[in-house]
Amino acid sequence: MKNFIFAFILFALLLTVNAAPFKFNKRTTTFSACPNFPNAEPLNVSITPDPPKSGTDEKFGVSGALTKHDIVKNKTILGIAYADLQQKPIGDPYHSAFNESYKAGKEFSVSADFSAPQLPVSYFIAVAVGDPTGDPKNPLDVYGCAYALIV
């Protein structure tokens, strides 16, 4: 009889635990200020889907307020790139000129859609806002920047 009571209590406990709602801990991507560009201001970045998946269409939302530089229509560029842990590019970077001007200090918000390349297990995503320089060794004066490490 004791074994039956023990088994019944164990069975009831298992049913209770299985019926309890389970909170799925989804991994989210956190973007930080770029250490390689100490004068660049941080950007707010969101991505969908999060985390990115190889070959899927990604939607990036980028916002912020550049306090030291104007964003100039058809000149200032939003750039997004993937890189491996050795900082070698993965796929082609995304770049597009802003279609609206923003004075320094004014909040901006833009979105970008493009396909993620074939991604390794761990990689970086970098997002930058700046003006082109014409110099192939330093092609962009970076005014705003954010990056994320995906592991």
Give per-residue pLDDT as tens, 11-66.
433 333 444 454 555 568 999 999 989 899 999 999 999 889 999 999 999 999 99
Question: In angstroms, what CA-CA distances link 134 with 81, 82, 137, 144, 146?
Answer: 19, 22, 9, 18, 22
At 58-77, the pLDDT tens digits run: 999 999 999 999 999 999 99
For all residues of the chain together, what is the average pLDDT? 85
The superfamily CATH assigns to domain 28-150 is Immunoglobulins (2.60.40.10)
Q: Residue 150's pLDDT is what?
A: 93
pTM: 0.80
Strand pairing partners for 48?
59
